[in-house]
A and B are shown apart, each in its own frame.
Chain A
Amino acid sequence: MFGYYVKLALRSLRRNPGISALMVMAIALGIAVCVMTLTVYHGMSSNPIWWKNDRLYAITLDSWDAEEPANEERPELPPPQLTYRDAEAVTSTAIAARSVRMMRTGGVLSSAEAASDVLPERALLRVTTAGFFGMFDVPFAHGGGWQAAADTGPEPVIVLSKAMNEHFFAGANSVGRTLRWNDREFRVVGVLEDWHPSPKFYDLNNGSFDDPEDAYVPFGWLPALELDSVGNTNCWKPEQRESYLDFLNSECVWVQAWVELPDAATRVRMQEYLDGYVNEQRSSGRFARPDNNRLTPVDQWLADNDVVRNDNRMLVAMAFAFLSVCLINTVGLLLAKFLGGATITGIRRALGASRRQIFLQLLTEAGMLAAVGATAGLVLASLGLLGLRAMYATGSSGFRTVMYIDVWSVAMAVALAVVSALAAGLYPAWRVGRLAPAVYLKS
């Protein structure tokens, strides 16, 4: 019977093309707005390294002022970064399968070849330890990361993003070639594939959706070159910081630390290690606040750092409110259309259709409207997201990376179509199915 219902629905939709188009547009607009906001929301709130959620942990310690929390709005949270010395201490233990400490800096990359006509480029660099690439499953097009020994040397090695490799080496395999960072030459050891974790979970400072850095160099260059952070540096303690060494030993937090812990037992050991370290530091007058030493998995890390802000959630709620308005309009139009066809419904009832069959037939029609509406909605949502991407096309914001229709968006549109069909079709189909056929047969 379903095939018959589909055939009847198509005829019915063709019978009133104007009303049908209005209903499709109403559903399409509602679904488009919902799919757009949900796609962005999903992209923003999704964990880009979900498969390691039970292995990767951000380390945070509450080394802040005894008198006030680091975050007035979320006093239960420790500062999101560590001091240089704490970062070094907690990532030097062998408990974790991998440990990473890192920060972001800047500079100018330029070709090391005298004859090159490639223009220098201002670049952001991640100064990190060797474990970064393996810990975060960073994909390589050529070569790979550096060995741990390169961190301490430090060795003049560099890993380039795909875009930087395109710029300086026209996309060729540049492993083994050299590049100048400020006034120093670095040997390329690896070139990344296109890699845009969104949100940029490993460092949520200065924009959770910023693009990843242009290049990566060993962490040992931080003290060696006395690098400044191009990120957040937060200090609470009045300290004398006359030299770079003073800064490294200060209570300012500006370094991120992550560990990869393969199982629960390792996690317990790591937690014990952190607690022990903090206790030990207390003997030298540090860590005056209560114990708040955290190993935070990625999901929780994104939530703690308000990657998805409340106004985004409000936007999603408003999108659903808009869909509801569209559906209420569709209910009215469908009811008018179904009641307008009550004589035909009466004839069908007289010829043997049960209420249930009439109900299913009309619900099929509503379902087809919703299906066409959802398809049109997906097209509109794609166009809308295209427009939004164009708005964010310039600058380093990675918002554009979350504005794509994907399988999730399509699944959401299908789900919304089902909900729309039921929401818009149930009442009119039920109402018309209950009409006494005899009343309409006389007309």
Chain B
Amino acid sequence: MLAMRHISKVFRTELIETHALRDFSLDVASGEFVAVTGPSGSGKTTFLNVAGLLETFDTGRYELDGVDVNGLSDDTRSRLRNEKIGFIFQSFNLIPDLDIFDNVDVPLRYRRMKTAERKERIESALDIVGLSSRAHHMPSQLSGGQQQRVAIARAIAGDPKFLLADEPTGNLDSLMARQVMDLLEQINEMGTTIVLVTHDPELARRAHRNVQVIDGQVSDYKPYEPREPQVMASAAMA
């Protein structure tokens, strides 16, 4: 699903150079739920932006769902982002003057879907996150947890293969955080690959795999090896 090899990203100003990612390599398989952890300033967010095609990188190779993204035009990167990636942000990032329905509609609009299909997908996504009855509320009328669920609905409405979540529970109390995590797990079980950036070790433990980023590198990178299916493992044990 995601294969990064020796990625580097340097932010330059007139005075300083900051190596946000250096020789960064990571594989995420289809259907995985990976938690990316690390101290502040370690490069987690830069990784997420590069992975989400919001930032370019300086050197290395990045394949997203088999597509080498290096050198792609902005149009193509935007289309890939729209079709393959869903974003969930710490601060929800709902558009304040659009109601819930229209917020979830945004990525579908850029995919130029027909009205009927968009409506069906929006209703389905809101149904999954349990907010069908709030479709015509404004974001300001919802609690933080509800807003994050709207953001999740928006992220999954386009049926992306890949969800990138940046501290999705960072602004929520523990109960709401747990609900959001339950929802992410449920989405992952439906086949969507999830990469979760978090500081919270408890949340990270709920992922299939933890990856620690330190100083712009994955601290314990190993090339991806497919896990054996659990059914077969159970059979072998028997």
The answer to whether B95 and A347 have CB atoms under 8 Å apart is yes
Determine whether A75 belongs to the interface, using a CB cutoff of 8 Å to chain B.
no
Determine whether B49 belongs to the interface, using a CB cutoff of 8 Å to chain A.
yes
| Cβ contacts under 8 Å, B98 to chain A | 11
Beyond contacts A347-B93, A352-B111: 6 other A-B pairs, Cβ-Cβ < 8 A, are: A349-B54, A350-B52, A438-B45, A438-B49, A441-B89, A443-B91
Pick from A343, A353, A436: contact of B55, CB below 8 A.
A436
Q: For B45, give the chain A residue with the smallest CB separation.
A: A442
Determine whether A355 belongs to the interface, using a CB cutoff of 8 Å to chain B.
yes
Q: For B46, give the chain A residue with the smallest CB separation.
A: A438
A438 to B75, CA, bound (A): 17
Determine whether B37 belongs to the interface, using a CB cutoff of 8 Å to chain A.
no
The answer to whether A1 and B112 have CB atoms under 8 Å apart is yes
Q: For B81, give the chain A residue with the smallest CB separation.
A: A352
Q: For A351, give the chain B residue with the smallest CB separation.
A: B107
| Cβ contacts under 8 Å, A237 to chain B | none
Of residues 313 through 352 on chain A, the ones whose CB sits less than 8 Å from some CB of chain B are 343-344, 346-352
The answer to whether B97 and A351 have CB atoms under 8 Å apart is no
Q: For A1, give the chain B residue with the smallest CB separation.
A: B112
Determine whether A437 belongs to the interface, using a CB cutoff of 8 Å to chain B.
yes
Interface CB pairs A-B, < 8 A, 20: A4-B109, A344-B95, A346-B93, A347-B93, A347-B95, A350-B81, A350-B87, A351-B87, A351-B107, A352-B78, A352-B81, A352-B82, A352-B83, A352-B158, A354-B77, A354-B79, A357-B110, A437-B54, A442-B91, A443-B91
| Cβ contacts under 8 Å, B52 to chain A | 350
**A4 CB to closest chain B CB, in angstroms?**
5
The answer to whether B54 and A356 have CB atoms under 8 Å apart is no
| Cβ contacts under 8 Å, A353 to chain B | 78, 82, 110
Determine whether A74 belongs to the interface, using a CB cutoff of 8 Å to chain B.
no
| Cβ contacts under 8 Å, B111 to chain A | 352
Q: Mark B71-106, 1 if CB is under 8 A from A, else 0.
A: 000110111011100010101010101100000001
**B165 CB to closest chain A CB, in angstroms?**
12
| Cβ contacts under 8 Å, B45 to chain A | 438, 442
| Cβ contacts under 8 Å, B97 to chain A | 11, 14-15
A443 to B112, CA, bound (A): 29
A343 to B96, CA, bound (A): 11
The answer to whether A352 and B79 have CB atoms under 8 Å apart is yes
Of residues 428 through 443 on chain A, the ones whose CB sits less than 8 Å from some CB of chain B are 436-438, 441-443
The answer to whether A349 and B78 have CB atoms under 8 Å apart is yes
The answer to whether B82 and A356 have CB atoms under 8 Å apart is no
A4 to B108, CA, bound (A): 12
Q: Mark A2-13, 1 if CB is under 8 A from B, else 0.
A: 001000000100
Chain A residues with a Cβ closer than 8 Å to the other chain, count: 25
Of B78, B87, B97, B158, the most chain A CB neighbours within 10 A belong to B78
A348 to B109, CA, bound (A): 10
Inter-chain contact total with CB atoms closer than 8 Å: 67
Determine whether B121 belongs to the interface, using a CB cutoff of 8 Å to chain A.
no
Q: For A442, give the chain B residue with the smallest CB separation.
A: B45
Of A11, A353, A354, the most chain B CB neighbours within 10 A belong to A354
Q: For A350, give the chain B residue with the smallest CB separation.
A: B87
Q: Mark B156-196, 1 if CB is under 8 A from A, else 0.
A: 00100000000000000000000000000000000000000
Determine whether B154 belongs to the interface, using a CB cutoff of 8 Å to chain A.
yes
Of A1, A343, A349, A443, the most chain B CB neighbours within 10 A belong to A349
A351 to B78, CA, bound (A): 8
Residues of A within 8 A of B (CB): 1, 4, 11, 14-15, 343-344, 346-357, 436-438, 441-443
| Cβ contacts under 8 Å, B158 to chain A | 352
A436 to B83, CA, bound (A): 20
**A9 CB to closest chain B CB, in angstroms?**
12
The answer to whether A350 and B54 have CB atoms under 8 Å apart is yes
| Cβ contacts under 8 Å, A347 to chain B | 93, 95, 106
Q: For A344, give the chain B residue with the smallest CB separation.
A: B95
The answer to whether A351 and B110 have CB atoms under 8 Å apart is yes
A372 to B51, CA, bound (A): 42
**A198 CB to closest chain B CB, in angstroms?**
51
**B143 CB to closest chain A CB, in angstroms?**
20
Q: For B83, give the chain A residue with the smallest CB separation.
A: A352
Q: For A437, give the chain B residue with the smallest CB separation.
A: B54
The answer to whether B82 and A351 have CB atoms under 8 Å apart is yes
A350 to B87, CA, bound (A): 7
The answer to whether A356 and B154 have CB atoms under 8 Å apart is no
Of residues 46 through 81 on chain B, the ones whose CB sits less than 8 Å from some CB of chain A are 49, 52, 54-55, 74-75, 77-79, 81
**B121 CB to closest chain A CB, in angstroms?**
14
**B79 CB to closest chain A CB, in angstroms?**
7
**B224 CB to closest chain A CB, in angstroms?**
26
Of B75, B87, B109, the most chain A CB neighbours within 10 A belong to B109
| Cβ contacts under 8 Å, A441 to chain B | 54, 89, 93
Q: For B54, give the chain A residue with the smallest CB separation.
A: A438
A103 to B198, CA, bound (A): 95
| Cβ contacts under 8 Å, B78 to chain A | 349, 352-355, 357
Pick from B91, B93, B95, B107: contact of A352, CB below 8 A.
B107
**B15 CB to closest chain A CB, in angstroms?**
18
**B17 CB to closest chain A CB, in angstroms?**
17
| Cβ contacts under 8 Å, B82 to chain A | 351-353
A351 to B112, CA, bound (A): 13
The answer to whether A352 and B54 have CB atoms under 8 Å apart is no
A4-B109, A442-B45 known; A355 vs B74 contact (CB < 8 Å): yes
Q: For B112, give the chain A residue with the smallest CB separation.
A: A1
Of residues 184 through 213 on chain B, the ones whose CB sits less than 8 Å from some CB of chain A are none
